[in-house]
Structure 1
Amino acid sequence: MNQIPWATIGVVTAWYSSNIGVLLLNKYLLTNYGFRFPVFLTTCHMLLCSLLSYVISVTDMVPLQSLRSQAQFWKIVALSVVFSFSVVCGNVSLRFIPVSFNQAIGATTPFFTAVFAYAVTSKREAWVTYATLLPVVTGVIIASGGEPSFHLFGFVICVSSTAARAFKSVLQDILLSSEGEKLNSMNLLLYMAPIAVMVLLPATLFMEGNVVGITIDLARKDIRIFWYLLLSSSLAYFVNLTNFLVTKHTSALTLQVLGNAKGAVAVVISILIFKNPISMMGMFGYALTVIGVILYSETKKRYGKS
């Protein structure tokens, strides 16, 4: 029996830690701490991602892939806009709904991916694959009905974030599908992050006013806000880095399976930390969604695309 290399265990642990860590810290900042500026928070994430991506590229830790054409650049601009919208909506939702409910909604990503793939590219899955999406959606409906902390706006904005994330993955497959345009996740982040900053900066100023001045005044009273923002932004970068490393050390399919388990782990940890109420109906709904996602992954692997 082959032993799992320690390097693989290390990168998977780091991936779990950074994913769950940034989610919980963002929730703490936006609700418990009272830093109610989700767009500025996302801008901070993208600023540090831009800086660290550049450092990684010049040190050759990840081989640099150059852009081939102006057309490829504009495709990445389009992806950056959709990506920014998804992340902002995800952070905004954390102001209104608990992490456990956020993760239940986020688990419906395969449903939106299948819908957009069919709508945009007319790609069809086997009927049994579509059938597995029924428990995914049904589970979220049940979880919503049994969620003690249900908030309509938070629910809608989280669904928007999930849909945008799925749309971005479909767009990425379409726009960067040719062999000469394919970029690994770290190089894609290298080009997307600075564009996202240029999109998010005016949005921050328009939606959140003098947030920089407010944050500086807050830092004078409580320097911890600076360290919270730095840690949150660092974790946001390491989510992408460890995602790349896990795929490198395992496979995209293993990443998907680990991602399903990660959501469940995040739910348990968030309930333990924030002590948000959760009903038996909500737990059943989330469990049904996770089962549906696992079945969806298995049927896609078995039947593929028709």
Structure 2
Amino acid sequence: MATSEQDKASSREFWLQAGITYSYIILWIFLSALVIMVNKYVLTYADFPFPIALTLTHMAFCSALAFLIIKAGFVDTVHMDSTTYLKNVIPIAALFSGTLWLGNAAYLYLSVAFIQMLKATMPVTVFLVGVLLGTEKYSVLYALNMVVVAVGVATASYGELNFDLIGVIFQSGSIITESFRLCLIQLLLQARGIKLNPVTTLYYIAPACFVFLCFPFTFIELPKMLHSDGWRLPGGWLLLSAVSAFALNMSVFLLIGRSSALTMNIAGVIKDWLLIALSVMLYKSPVGALQLCGYGVAFLGVCWYNYQKLQVRRLVEG
């Protein structure tokens, strides 16, 4: 009788924990999609074609909220001296600024669906940059895997019905800066034993990003805003975008704490396909058969690459 009660209690606990984990996954997918779709709407349909200003709004909001959370004692901060901050955090913040600015700018020219397809090249650029900086070891198998992904994305680009070179350049720049940022995190922070959760990351990096973005904003977008009447300030949408971006960072923290890298990768695949579908349904983005075929090839290449990386990690940890 006691064993039966223990089994029932154990079963209830299992389903409870599983429910919490899947709730976090759904929340992360929802917030990821929300941030991207809202940003696309703000920049393309809400008469606010200013990606740097949008990114500045995010950084200001996230900086203020992270500061309040840490000062209130809800999250412990990582104490960092000025030398460490300047040498390790500032370069990462500069690259993160570029990632956000260029990535948001791409929404002015490309559909959400096509941008998600271009993002499939992220493992390729991370691998190449990693080999360049010494965080990745060159492997013929990995290299062939990257060729498959590149061919798939090239096919998807060829099949894009509303191809725009400027948008592709912006998105490619965002992917490259993000790849360098991820590799520098390994070199500058993890190598020194500095571990930042999403709140402390925003606490240290968001203010620096804000400062970096002020320079291009002053020379590129501010003159346009001052000398043009063809725009309006969508305050509610900007607030929703900033709140969603901050919530997305928190959901990443929650999900990483309860799941494996494999779960994150699977959730990421679901998110990408969902965004492509939403782009077609909400913004009427044209997606051709050749484009889907190319993305399918790239998608399989990314899945195989992630599987290989997980296998290597398990061997190392085992």
Q: Do both share a fold (TM > 0.5)?
A: yes
1:291 and 2:296 matched: no
Q: Pick from 229, 243, 264: which aligns with 2:238? A: 229
**In the aligned structure 2, how far is the partner of 1:127 from the partner of 1:101?**
29
Residue 162 of structure 1 aligns to which amino acid in structure 2? I
The 5-angstrom pairing of residues 248-263 of structure 1 reads 248-263=257-272
Is 1:240 the counterpart of 2:249? The answer is yes
Deviation at 1:210, TM superposition (A): 4.6
Which SS does the other structure have where 2:163 is aligned? Answer: coil
Q: Percent of aligned pairs with the same residue?
A: 27
Would you say the 8 A contact 1:67–1:181 is kept in 2?
A: no
Residue of structure 2 in register with 1:279 after alignment? 288
1:47 has 2:47 as partner: no
Match of 2:210 in 1: 197
- Would the alpha carbon gap of residues 61 and 256 (structure 1) be closer, same or farther in structure 2, given more than 3 Å must change? farther
**Per-residue deviation, 1:265:** 1.2
- When residues 61 and 13 of structure 1 are mapped into structure 2, their CA distance, relative to the original with a 3 A threshold, is farther
Following superposition, the deviation at residue 233 of structure 1 comes to 1.0
The equivalent position to 2:106 in structure 1, one of 60, 78, 93, is 93
Whichever residue aligns with residue 25 of structure 1, its letter is: V
Tell me, yes or no, if the aligned pair for 2:51 and 2:104 is still in contact at 8 Å.
Answer: yes
Question: Cα–Cα, structure 1 residues 295 and 301, in superposed 2: closer, same or farther, change >3 Å?
Answer: same
| Deviations, residues 211-233 of structure 1 (Å, cap 9, x unaligned) | 67679x834xxxxx100111111
Q: Structure 1 125/262 Cα, relative in aligned 2: closer, same or farther at 3 Å? A: farther
Instruction: State the TM-score, normalized to the length of structure 2.
Output: 0.88
Counterparts in 2 of 1:300 and 1:126: CA distance versus 1, 3 Å? farther
Report the Cα offset of residue 89 of structure 1.
Answer: 0.4
Aligned 1:138-153 pairs, distance under 5 A: 138-153=151-166
Q: How does 1:1-306 map to 2 (within 5 A)?
A: 2-3=14-15, 4-68=17-81, 70-121=83-134, 123-210=136-223, 218-219=232-233, 225-304=234-313
Q: Deviations over 1:100-119 (max 9, x none)?
A: 00011112111100000101
Q: Report Cα offsets for 1:241-297 as digits up to 9, x if no partner.
A: 111111011133422332222111111111111011111001111111111111000
Rate the CA distance shift 1:276–1:180 in 2: closer, same or farther, 3 A. Answer: closer
Hey, what's the Cα distance between the residues in 2 that align with 1:250 and 1:165? 23
Deviation readout 1:157-199 (Å, 9 max, x if unpaired): 1011111111100011000123542323331221000011111
Separation in structure 1 between the aligned mates of residue 273 and residue 56 of structure 2, nearest angstrom: 28
**1:107 alignment partner, SS class:** helix
Give the residue type in structure 1 aligned to 2:182.
S
Contact residue 135 and residue 187 of structure 2 kept, 8 A? no
What does the per-residue CA deviation read over 1:11-61, in whole Å, with 9 as the maximum and x for residues that have no partner?
222211111111111111111222110110010011111011112213333
Contact 1:146/1:282 (<8 A) preserved: yes
Aligned residue for 1:222? none
Query: What letter is aligned with 1:77?
Result: I
Native 8 Å contact 1:68 1:180 kept in 2: no
Deviation of the 1:125 alpha carbon: 4.6
Q: Which runs of 5+ in 1 are unaligned?
A: 220-224
Q: Is the 8 A contact 1:136 1:288 kept in 2?
A: yes
CA distance in 1, matches of 2:117, 2:73: 38
TM-score, normalising length: structure 1 = 0.91
SS of the residue 1:24 aligns to: helix
In 2, are the aligned partners of 1:93 and 1:157 still within 8 Å (CA)? Answer: yes
How far is the alpha carbon of 1:129 from its aligned partner? Answer: 2.6
Cα pair 2:34 2:244 within 8 Å, conserved: yes
Q: CA deviation at 1:302?
A: 1.7
Greater Cα radius of gyration, structure 1 or 2 = 2
Say which SS state the counterpart of residue 248 (structure 1) adopts: helix
RMSD across aligned positions (CA): 2.2
Aligned length: 301
